[in-house]
Amino acid sequence: MTRTEPLRVGVLASGRGSNLQAILDATRDPAYPARVVVVVSDRERAPALDRARAGGVEALWLDPKAFSDRESFDAALVRELEARRVELMCHAGYMRILSGVYCRAFAGRAVNIHPSLLPAFPGLHAQRQAIAHGVKVAGVTVHFSDEGVDTGPIIAQAAVAVLDGDTEDSLAARILVEEHRLFPEVIRLVAEGRVSVEGRAVRIRR
């Protein structure tokens, strides 16, 4: 069945927000089947929140210090998202570990972007790990989020070459170009109802 209303997307971001920007830019096309209804950050001064405001999207800061533990923070986060009827969460550089409280609430409805070809190089500094390992091909993965770190079913990947003389920064910049293309594309596929999960395998109906 074709949806008439755009998919209501929330974005979690702790930092720079360039992936958020790519998503916001995509949603400017009236034919794009999703829109961002809220951007949430755990960092008050995250540039991502400024990008949200500049794009006319609600920017919400939740202060981790105001909560006694991870679960109560995440419960508040879930309440805020449910109040805005968020249908899909996009994790775009969110640096906090998400607890079961959040993961259960958004199981199958949250996607994360990670700058490596998973399952290689999960966790922090993926591009540095790729350089240190000497791989010749690196890239980006968009996957469903689960309770592990960068472990959920893979929706889409894009590869880039690692060149002689690459540094962590030069490789990260090459990967970022693919991130900005891939994340909005995956959101489109989800919004169009083309994505289904069977165990670890994600099927995409083209």
Reduced to 3 states (helix: H, G, I; strand: E, B; else coil), residue 2 is coil
| C-alpha R_g of the chain | 17
Place of tokens 């755990």: 42
In this complex, which beta carbon is closest to ligand GRF, that of residue 19 or of residue 129? Answer: 19
d(CA 97, CA 112): 12
Q: Is 114 a catalytic residue?
A: yes
Residue of this chain nearest to ligand GRF (CB atom) = 93
Q: Where are the alpha helices (DSSP H) in 8-160?
A: 18-27, 47-54, 70-83, 100-105, 126-133
In this complex, which beta carbon is closest to ligand GRF, that of residue 7 or of residue 46? Answer: 46
Binding site for ligand GRF (CB under 6 A): 13, 15-19, 92-93, 113-115, 179
Catalytic residue from among 114, 133, 143, 180: 114
Tell the smallest beta-carbon distance from residue 139 to ligand GRF (Å): 11
In this complex, which beta carbon is closest to ligand GRF, that of residue 75 or of residue 153? Answer: 153
Tell the smallest beta-carbon distance from residue 18 to ligand GRF (Å): 3
> Do the beta carbons of residue 136 and residue 160 sit within 8 Å?
no
Q: Which residues are catalytic?
A: 114
